[in-house]
Chains A and B, each alone.
Chain A
Amino acid sequence: MDLLSFPKFSSRKSFRVKLRTLFIVIGGLGAFVTAVLLEEKEYYWAMAPAALVLLASLAEFVLADIVTDKIYPTRTEALLEKLETNLRAYHDRIRESIGRAIKSLRACDGTKVSGTFHLVVELYSSAGNESERALVQVTDYSGSLGGNRWRFTSATKGLIGRCLRTSQPEWVNFATDEEYRERMVREFGFSFDEVNQHTQEARSYWAQPVFVRDRLIGIIFLFSTEPQIFPSAVERTSLEGTAREIGAFLEGARII
C-alpha cells in the first residue's frame, strides 16, 4: 500500500473542483447535443448524449467523492488542514531559526546552504485502519534551493528517513551528481524517477533530529552545494539549540 502517493496538500480541493468542472462540461455538452437532436426529432440518436448526461451526473454525485477519498484520505487531509492553520503564525519563525542555524555553520559559504523542517506524521489509508510513519516538509526552504513544502517522504527513504529511524544526526556527501543518483537509489530507497525530481546540485547534507520531551517530532534538513561541509562545519550545540527552539514553536502551535 503506498500511502505516499498523496499529492500536495492543497490539491484535494483543486482536484475535486477540477473533477466537478469536467463532469459539468461533459454533462452540459451532452445536454446540448441531446436538445439539438430532439429538436431535429432524432429521438434514437438523442439517446447516446442523454446517456452521457446520466453518466456524468452519476460520476459527479456518486463516484467523484469515492475517488477523491481514495486518493486523498480524509483523516490525512484533516491532519494537513490542521497543520497549515496552526503553523501559519509560526512558519516564518521556524524559517528564521533555520536561517540562523545556517549562519552558525563555520568555515563555509552560508549562501550555498539551504534548509527546511520536516515534521513526523502518521499517514492513514482511506479505510483508516493502516498507517505508516512519514515526514512532511512544513516550511519553505531558507536559502536559494529546495522544493515546495507539503511534500511527503517515507520513513524508509532519504537521509531524513534514516535520521527518523536512528534518531541521530545523519550526514552524507557526494562527489558527483552521478554518485548522488546511484546512492539515492541503492542506499536511500528512492526510485530513479523520484531522484530525477530532486535538486541534484547539492553535495553535502545534514539531518538533525528535533525532540520534544524525548519524543522525535521532526527533522531539520540542511544541504550545501559546496562539498564536504557536513559534518565538519556544524557547531553541534548551536544546531541542538535551534532544534529546541523549533520544538518550542511546534508546542506553541499545538501541533505536537
Chain B
Amino acid sequence: MSDNVNTAPYDQIAAEYYDVSHQTSRNFDQTSGHALQEIRELVPENGLVLDVGAGRGRCNEFLGIDTSRVIHLDNSREMIDFRPREASRLRVLHQAECLPFLNAEFSCVTAFLCDPFLGLNFLHEAYRVLTVEGLFVATTPSYEWGMPLRAALGISAFSTRFITRNGKVMVPSILIPRNRLIDMLEFVGFSKSNIEVSRHRLPEHATPISPDIKLSAERLGCGVHELEILYVVVAKK
C-alpha cells in the first residue's frame, strides 16, 4: 500500500487560501475561533500536540497551545511551507490517513477543517497516536450546511470547489452527518460518553458573509445566523 504525497489538491490553492477574499473559509475561521474558546481548558497541559492538516498552523490561534509542543502535518507541500506561519516543533509532509508515528505519542491531536481527509482511516489513526486520556479536537463543515450547497451547485458529495484567481479548483471535502460521525468515533475506539460533536452557527459579528452560506440558508429557509455551519468534535481516549 502506498500513498502519494507528490501532488496534493491543496497545492493549487495554498498561495491564496488564507486571503480575505475566500469568504467561506474566513467565516469558518470566525466560527471556529468563537466555538473553540470553550475547549481551551480541556487541552492537556503537557505532552506533544499533533496538528493534522495544519496548513500555516492554528493551534496557538484557536486553542492557545504553546507552539513548542506542536508538530505540524500536512500532505500539501505548499500549505506546510506557507509563510507567515505559526511556529512549531517540527513540520511533516505526509498523508493524514496513515500517520507516520508510533502509538500513543501525542497528548492532543487537532484537525481544523478536516473535511479534506475526514474518514474512518484518519479517525482510527488519530485514536492510535493519542496517549490514554489524550484529547482529539477537530472542526469540520456541517452536513446540514454543505449538502444543500453542493446540491445547488451540482457538485459531488465528496468534493468542494474554490474559486481562485486562476479559476475553479476542485478539492476533496467529505461531509458526514453528526450522528454518523459519532458512530465512527465510537467505532475507532473512543468511548461514547467521551465523545461530543457540537454544532455552531456563524457569530453575529461575522462579516462579510459568504454567498455559499447565504445560499444554503436560503435553501433551508433560515437566516444565515440560524444555520449551523460547523461541527466541533471533542473526544477523549
Contacts and interface: CB of A to CB of B under 8 A. Distances in A.
Is B one of A's binding partners? yes
Interface of A: 106-108, 170-173, 175-176, 178-179, 182-183, 187, 203, 225-229, 231-233
Interface string B87-107: 000000000010000000000
15 contacts: A107-B184, A107-B188, A173-B3, A175-B117, A176-B170, A176-B172, A182-B4, A182-B7, A183-B4, A203-B158, A227-B119, A228-B97, A228-B120, A232-B123, A232-B187
A135 B171 CA distance: 34
Interface string B53-75: 00000000000000000000000
Contacts of A228: 97, 119-122, 174
A176 B2 contact: no
B42 to A, nearest CB: 25
B21 interface: no
Interface residues of B, number: 25
Interface string B1-31: 1111001010000000000000000000000
Contacts of B183: 107
B174 A232 contact: no
B124 A232 contact: yes
A119 B9 CA distance: 36
Contacts, number: 55
A102 B213 CA distance: 37
Contacts of A106: 187
Given A176-B159, A228-B97, A232-B188, A107 B2 contact: no
B14 to A, nearest CB: 16
Interface centre among B4, B120, B158 (most CB of A within 10 A): B120
Contacts of A227: 119, 158, 172, 174
A203 B117 CA distance: 12
A102 B124 CA distance: 20
B148 interface: no
Given A227-B158, A228-B97, A171 B2 contact: no
A171 B172 contact: no
B172 A175 contact: yes
Interface string B113-138: 00011011111100000000000000
A47 to B, nearest CB: 64
B174 to A, nearest CB: 6
A170 B9 contact: no
The 10 A-B pairs with the shortest beta carbon distances in the complex, nearest first, are A228-B119, A232-B120, A107-B187, A228-B121, A175-B172, A227-B119, A232-B124, A228-B120, A232-B121, A107-B184
B91 to A, nearest CB: 21
Contacts of A231: 121
A50 B18 CA distance: 79
B4 A179 contact: yes
Contacts of A172: 1-2
B48 to A, nearest CB: 24
Given A107-B184, A171-B1, A229 B9 contact: no
B121 A108 contact: no
Interface in B163-187: 170-172, 174, 183-184, 187
A233 B117 contact: no
A203 B174 CA distance: 11
B114 to A, nearest CB: 12
A103 to B, nearest CB: 16
A173 B122 CA distance: 12
Given A107-B183, A187-B2, A228-B120, A175 B7 contact: no
